[in-house]
Amino acid sequence: MLEAANGAEIVVMSRRKSLLDDDKELMNSGNITVIQGDALVEEDVKNAYNMGPWDALVIGIGAAPKFTIKGMEMNPVNVCGRSMKVITDVMQPSDIKCGKIVIVSAQGVGDSYQYGPWLSKLFHSYVIKTALNDKLVFENITKDCAKKMNIPYVILRPAMLTSSSVSKPYRMALDLRTRSISRLDTGKAIVNCLDTSDHDNTSVIVGY
């Protein structure tokens, strides 16, 4: 996504700032600022948000998986919903403006479950059910915040993510039947959501 952003000025908050610091080509591009922060910590979020105003916020929250008797959970547990609650609690009373919210969720959340292949449905139902429920909370908090702030949102639901370095044509639709998409092309889809209003106020699946 950062490479596809066409010279836009970008601020990234990351729990693991060193991962981006090590990318010298990216850091030397002159249009990116990386700050250390945890979306579960209100003070970190407030410090980052106060650097605005923002044309848009892109929010992708992840964590290390942990396997339990209930299936796979994120560690910290329910990190997506909890983090988004902190973020929106900072955004809503602030005088700092934000033009749009784009979040990265997942295929399998909510009504997108029905569009996955049967093997994915089994995986979603039994292995990552708890994680997907957390993503649904993440989505609902986003929609509620956008409505209260009267700004557009896009919920991007990528199919199974791959690490392919080869870009391919991808599709975006509310009812898309698809199996996978690379992280590279997911980044391009995010930029598409920032550059256009085609998918504003929708939960759109992206994949090949």
- 104-163 residue pLDDT tens: 999 999 999 888 777 777 777 767 888 899 999 999 999 999 999 999 999 999 999 999
pTM for the model:
0.90
pLDDT in tens, 172-189: 999 999 999 999 999 999
Residue 14 structure tokens: 């990351």
Q: Which domains does the chain have, with CATH numbers?
A: 55-207 (3.40.50.720)
Among 119, 198, 125, 97, residue whose Cα is nearest residue 156: 198
